């Protein structure tokens, strides 16, 4: 008789008791050798259902999950590169979580998170909503180096199952690169990412006479503040009723070649120094800070003279000038200055090519 495996132990089907035993052992190993990490589901604010991409995302929920760090000996493919947009880290890491714990404890949190967005309705897969497993694009906070990783792939369909069942999810993650997402999870170590990144920011020099003080990460509204004392626009008055200026609409480019009018632009406070009256803002709802001037100079700032009101603090100040905040490895100012030195503009030349 030819040798064969034991008929009393099956690696294909298995019994419920054996599967439960193995699942208990997996959960115990993660609890002993793992660490508690914060999991953050992504909220898609402006989803393109054709391309299934979102230009704006938010993270408003974070909950701890015990995970085993499979890359225990260091980051996978660890490399730091100096690029045109600054220093880029390609650190990768793999986490392992228990399937049964996800279904029992964390699936309800994710389901409620998405149902709130749907006004209590069921989850919509076309909106990128799922609670059956961790989802690509969600984030994980890693406390060892105070960093955030983005899930790039979730391994949930391995071919070889022990006793005919899968017990874990493997999360293959890469270092998260901030690109304007909103963080409001309630965890300070997570939400302060918006203050530390090298991202597009504008620094406003505020005039004297403002009221109250801005709060970090609060949303503010920018109003065009021009033509003081004229009858154009809506008159603005201080608390005593004295006329202090008029409010104009912004004329902004919506990147389609057509200018649009907006009453205000919103942004987020990155820093505020009341002694020097310097305010740094980022995450603008719509920003086009330059326009052609009368002498065809493209450096005229639309945000030079704006009224900035804090939605939470009620702070109210007026800017006198604005510059782009310094960003690491950004040479835009150098390129602009070199262009200004060599450009020749003749406003009377209606035929610059000379052959039409």
Residues 331, 84 contacting (CB under 8 angstroms): no
Q: Which residue has the higher pLDDT, 8 or 154?
A: 154
- pLDDT for the residue numbered 247: 54
Report yes or no: 254 and 260 within 8 Å, Cβ to Cβ. yes
| Residues 269 and 216 sit within 8 Å (Cβ to Cβ) | yes
| Over residues 199-220, mean pLDDT | 87
Radius of gyration of the chain (CA): 27
CA 132 to CA 114: how far, in whole Å? Answer: 12
pLDDT tens, position by position, 150-164: 999 998 776 556 777
Q: What is the pLDDT of residue 299?
A: 52
- In angstroms, rounded to a whole number, what is the distance separating the alpha carbons of residues 153 and 138? 10
Tokens representing 272? 């505020």
Give dist(CA 201, CA 255) in Å, integer.
19
Average pLDDT over residues 181-191: 86
> What CA–CA distance (Å, rounded) separates 290 from 118?
39
Of the given ranges (95-109, 190-204, 312-326, 340-354), which has the lowest mean pLDDT?
A: 340-354
Cα–Cα distance, 64 to 61 (Å, whole number): 10
- Is 90 exceeded by the pLDDT of residue 36? yes
Asked if residues 58 and 181 have their Cβ atoms less than 8 Å apart, the reply is yes
Residue closest to 223 by CA, chosen among 213, 214, 236, 240? 236
**The predicted structure's pLDDT at residue 250:** 73
pLDDT digits over 12-34, tens only? 666 778 888 888 999 999 999 99
Higher pLDDT, 343 or 147: 147
Task: State the chain's mean pLDDT as an integer.
Answer: 77
Q: How many Cα atoms occupy the beta-carbon half-sphere of 53 within 13 Å?
A: 2
Bridge partners (DSSP) of residue 139 are: 40, 150
Give the lowest-confidence range in 156-160, 170-174, 283-287, 315-319: 156-160
The two three-digit tokens of residue 318, written as one number: 């007026």
Question: Which pLDDT value is given to residue 243?
Answer: 42
The region, left, alpha or beta by phi > 0 then psi within -120 to 50, assigned to residue 164 is left
Distance between CA 246 and CA 295 in Å, rounded?
A: 25
Mapped onto helix, strand or coil, the DSSP state of residue 30 is helix
> What span, in angstroms and rounded, lies between the C-alpha atoms of 116 and 19?
35
- Residue 185, both tokens: 């999870």
């Amino acid at each position: 008789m030819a040798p064969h495996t034991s008929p009393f132990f099956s690696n294909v089907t298995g019994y419920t008791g054996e599967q439960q035993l193995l699942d208990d052992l997996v959960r115990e190993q993660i609890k002993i050798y793992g660490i508690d990490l914060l999991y953050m589901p992504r909220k898609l604010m402006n989803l393109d259902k054709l391309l299934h991409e979102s230009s704006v995302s938010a993270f408003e929920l974070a909950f701890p999950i015990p995970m085993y760090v499979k890359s225990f000996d260091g980051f996978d493919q660890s490399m730091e590169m100096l690029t045109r947009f600054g220093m880029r880290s390609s650190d990768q890491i793999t986490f392992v979580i228990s399937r049964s714990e996800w279904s029992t404890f964390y699936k309800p949190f994710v389901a409620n998170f998405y149902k709130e967005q749907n006004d209590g309705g069921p989850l919509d897969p076309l909106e990128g909503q799922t609670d059956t497993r961790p989802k690509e694009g969600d984030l994980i906070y890693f406390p060892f180096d105070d960093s955030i990783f983005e899930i790039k792939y979730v391994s949930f369909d391995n071919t070889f199952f022990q006793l005919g069942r899968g017990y874990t999810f493997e999360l293959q993650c890469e270092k998260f690169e901030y690109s304007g997402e909103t963080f409001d999870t309630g965890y300070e170590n997570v939400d302060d990412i918006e203050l530390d990144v090298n991202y597009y920011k504008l620094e406003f020099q505020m005039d004297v006479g403002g009221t109250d003080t801005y709060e970090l990460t609060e949303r503010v509204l920018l109003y065009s503040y021009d033509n003081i004392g004229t009858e154009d626009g809506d008159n603005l008055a201080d608390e005593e009723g004295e006329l202090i200026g008029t409010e104009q609409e912004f004329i902004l480019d919506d990147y389609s070649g057509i200018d649009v009018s907006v009453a205000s632009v919103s942004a987020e406070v990155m820093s505020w120094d009341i002694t020097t009256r310097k305010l740094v803002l980022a995450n603008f709802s719509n920003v086009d800070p330059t326009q052609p001037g009368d002498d065809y100079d493209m450096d005229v700032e639309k945000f030079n003279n704006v009224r900035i009101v804090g939605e939470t603090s009620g702070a109210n100040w007026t800017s006198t000038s604005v510059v782009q905040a310094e960003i690491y490895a950004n040479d835009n100012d150098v390129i602009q200055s070199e262009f200004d030195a060599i450009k020749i503009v003749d406003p009377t030349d209606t035929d610059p090519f000379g052959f039409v």
